[in-house]
Amino acid sequence: MITQRKPLTHLILLISSVLMMYPVFWWLGASFKTNEEMRSPNLFPESLRWSNYSDGWVSVPNYHFGVFYLNNLELILGVLFTSVISCSLVAFAFARLDFPLRKVWFGVLLLTLMLPTQVTIVPQYVLFSKLDWINTYLPFYVPHLLAGGVGGPFFIYLLVQFIRSIPRELDESAKMDGCSWFGIYWRIVIPLTKPALVTVAIYCFLWNWDDFFGQLLYINSVDKYTVNLALKLFIDSQGTVPWGQMLAMSLVSVIPAVIIFFMAQKHFVEGIASGALKG
């Protein structure tokens, strides 16, 4: 009976996959079309318009998309570094150190997971405006440095669950060798939590790479624009929108995220599974 059901199951999965991937195929085909061909029901145009990619790359006056990619990398690398270091330190403290009201503060941390980010937008903007941080990358760096950026509580919770699975006997052995708490964190915990740290880094990369609203809120100058903000420059209310070029650049913009995910997929799955099973 199980053997007979397999072909039907595979057929259903194949059809579902095609339906799920259809928007991606349309997106790919539309990136080679002209504005007139956008109305065509054909998935791909009769001739591939490669100029959409070359023209779209230099479509912004005085800039090209390489500048926006470098801005993206500058922002993302800073956020990744500050987020991984700060979240791992806080998670280590919750998982290993005994301090007053530890369980209470951990409960407060979990409560913040249910706090919508929209609630904090206005007070954060007012604070960063008074600090004169608008049109800089500091509104992205500083919250992550304090383990309070996008996904910070979730990252801490994931790392706490993973660190708790590490035997405490390793801590005791390190203490007998004269290792401090920071030494235990740096020499023992960090190497053993590599899968979870990679998971945190992937999540942080994807969420901040796709963060259009936050970047739109704090960045005003075109020379500091990221790829997400550069894409909106294609939309001109007084002229014709080059849809082919915009879709081509939007397709190019997701390539780094796809590459990062597949390169670190093994660690990503391992980190999620370990945090769920061992926690």
pLDDT at 89 exceeding the cut of 90: yes
Structural domains of the chain, count: 2
pLDDT at 239 exceeding the cut of 70: no
* Residues 27 and 138 occupy one common structural domain: no
Residue 74 Cα to chain centre, angstroms: 14
C-alpha to C-alpha distance for 186 and 179, rounded to whole angstroms: 10
The two structure tokens encoding residue 27: 């997106």
Which residue's structure tokens are 């020499």? Answer: 187
* Residues 107 and 32 occupy one common structural domain: no
User: Domain ends where: 55, 84, 100?
Assistant: 55
Bigger pLDDT: 221 vs 115: 221
The two structure tokens encoding residue 52: 């959409």
CA dihedral 53, 58, 61, 64 (to 10 degrees): 120
The two structure tokens encoding residue 262: 């597949």
CATH number at residue 124: 1.10.3720.10
Q: Note the pLDDT tens digit of each residue in 100-153.
A: 999 999 999 888 888 888 888 899 999 999 999 999 999 999 988 887 677 788
Classify each residue of 54-69 as buried b or exposed e, where b means 16 or more C-beta atoms within 10 Å of its C-beta: eebeebbeeeebebbb
pLDDT band at 88 (very low <50, low <70, confident <90, very high): very high
Q: What pLDDT, on a 0 to 100 scale, did the predictor assign at position 279?
A: 44
* Residues 51 and 69 occupy one common structural domain: no
* Residues 261 and 131 occupy one common structural domain: yes
Torsion sign (Cα): 262, 268, 269, 270? positive
What is the three-class DSSP state of 264? Answer: coil
Tally: H helices and E strands in the chain: 16, 0
Domain span holding position 42:
2-55
Q: Note the pLDDT tens digit of each residue in 23-60.
A: 889 999 999 998 888 888 788 888 888 999 999 999 88
Q: What pLDDT, on a 0 to 100 scale, did the predictor assign at position 276?
A: 47
* Residues 137 and 242 occupy one common structural domain: yes
* Residues 178 and 155 occupy one common structural domain: yes
Q: How many other CB atoms sit within 10 Å of the CB of residue 35?
A: 12
User: Domain ends where: 55, 73, 93?
Assistant: 55
What DSSP assignment string belongs to 154-205? HHHHHHHHHHHTS-THHHHHHHHTT--HHHHIIIIIHHHTHHHHHHHHHHHH
> Who contacts 84 (Cβ-Cβ below 8 Å, separation ≥6)?
197, 200, 201, 204
Classify each residue of 192-202 as buried b or exposed e, where b means 16 or more C-beta atoms within 10 Å of its C-beta: ebebbbbbbbb
pTM for the complete prediction?
Answer: 0.82
